[in-house]
Amino acid sequence: MHQPQGFINPQYPNYVCKLHKVIYGLKQAPREWFAQLSSWLLGYGFQASKVDASLFVLTHGDLRMYLLVYVDDFIITASKASVVDQFISDLSLAFPVKDLGTLSYFLGLEITQMNNGLLLSQRKYIKDLLTRSKMLHAKPVTSPMAAALKLSKFDSPSFDDVTLFRSIVGSLQYLSLTRPDISYAVNKVCQFKHTPKLPHWVAIKRILRYLKATINHGLFFSSQSSFKLQAYSDADWVGCPNDRRSMGGFCVFLSNHLISWSSKKQRTVARSSTKAEYKYVASSAAKLIWLQTLIFKLGLPFNQVPILWCDNIQG
């Protein structure tokens, strides 16, 4: 602890300050913590990734170690297990560290390690969500949203419990981290958080019923995979009946594994189907370039040109 610059007491320059508020609750606390942590990691030999501020990479000969940071939670992996143990021992000399062992649960994500790969799921998170929304014993369905459903801000009647609506919608947004199959449906209901109507709540209940039927679904990543990137892009021209803006999205595959996806409404009105498609092709291309740069930064073999597929017969 030091007295802040400009407020040093000339009579007692070596006195420390008494905190009336814990630094953990201050707005600048995360920045100060990350600055101190990153400074120590850079001194240890890590390099900060330019494509992801939370990723640090250590390379020494044939040794590679990756550190992913989320506030004060870390995921550490390396080409040698003994290196990870030594790093944790060194880190504990600078910061209080608790080693939780093999990765199995991280920020609501369940990681199941198998002989041939990893399975990412959020089964506990889904069960807690169904319990909180009183949908645990609801009848399951096989799809998250009806294909011809059109939701509008002019629907009626209004839904009274706005807090519950926003809480469930926010939880569904986080759940889409491992459930790309609900991304489109969640994006549709998210557009009515300010003034929810009863039909919007009915649409949310259908998503929850679908989650109950597919609670064990998740993303599987095989340990045997090639580094081939390809993306698929599509757009629904003037898909929103309220503002005539287009809906669209993309999904990116690394070999046969889905690693990135998005479903959202465009910010501007497209005057043709071609322009609506082109905007999402551009977004998909930007995501491919970012992922390609990330793979290079990780030092993984990547020598194939990414492929971008789009559904547009006019161009």
pLDDT tens, residue by residue, 32-66: 888 999 999 999 999 998 888 899 999 888 889 99
Token pair for 94: 């600078």
Q: Is the pLDDT of residue 130 over 90?
A: yes
Q: Are strands 229-236 and 219-222 parallel, antiparallel or unpaired?
A: unpaired
- What are the tens digits of pLDDT across the range 258-312? 988 888 888 888 888 888 888 888 889 999 999 988 888 888 777 788 889 887 6
Each as own residue / partner, the long-range contacts of residues 302-306 (CB below 8 Å, 24 or more positions apart, any chain) are: 302/227, 302/229, 304/227, 304/228, 304/229, 306/229, 306/230, 306/231
Taking the CA atoms of 216, 115, 52 and 310 in sequence, report the sign of the dihedral they define. Answer: negative
Residue ranges, comma separated, of all CATH 3.10.20 domains in the chain are: 225-310
How far is residue 73's CA from residue 169's CA, in Å, rounded to a whole number? 25
Pick the CATH number of 225-310 from 3.40.1710, 3.40.462, 1.10.10, 3.10.20: 3.10.20
Percent of the chain with pLDDT over 70: 96
How much is the mean pLDDT over the chain? 87
Q: Is the pLDDT of residue 121 over 70?
A: yes
Pick the CATH number of 23-101 from 3.60.21, 3.30.1330, 3.30.2310, 3.30.310: 3.30.310
- Residues 110-116 have a mean pLDDT of 88
Q: What is residue 65's predicted lDDT score, i.e. its pLDDT?
A: 92
Residue ranges, comma separated, of all CATH 3.30.310 domains in the chain are: 23-101
C-alpha closest to that of 117 among 229, 214, 225, 230: 225
List the 117-121 sheet strands across, edge first.
Answer: 105-106, 109-114, 117-121, 219-222
List the 55-60 sheet strands across, edge first.
Answer: 47-48, 55-60, 63-70, 73-78
DSSP secondary structure string for all residues of 172-205: HHHHTTT-GGGHHHHHHHHTTSSS-BHHHHHHHH
What is the Cα gyration radius of the chain? 24
- Residues 65-81 have a mean pLDDT of 89
Q: What is residue 21's predicted lDDT score, i.e. its pLDDT?
A: 64
Pick from 13-22, 36-45, 97-106, 219-228 the range whose average pLDDT is largest. Answer: 36-45
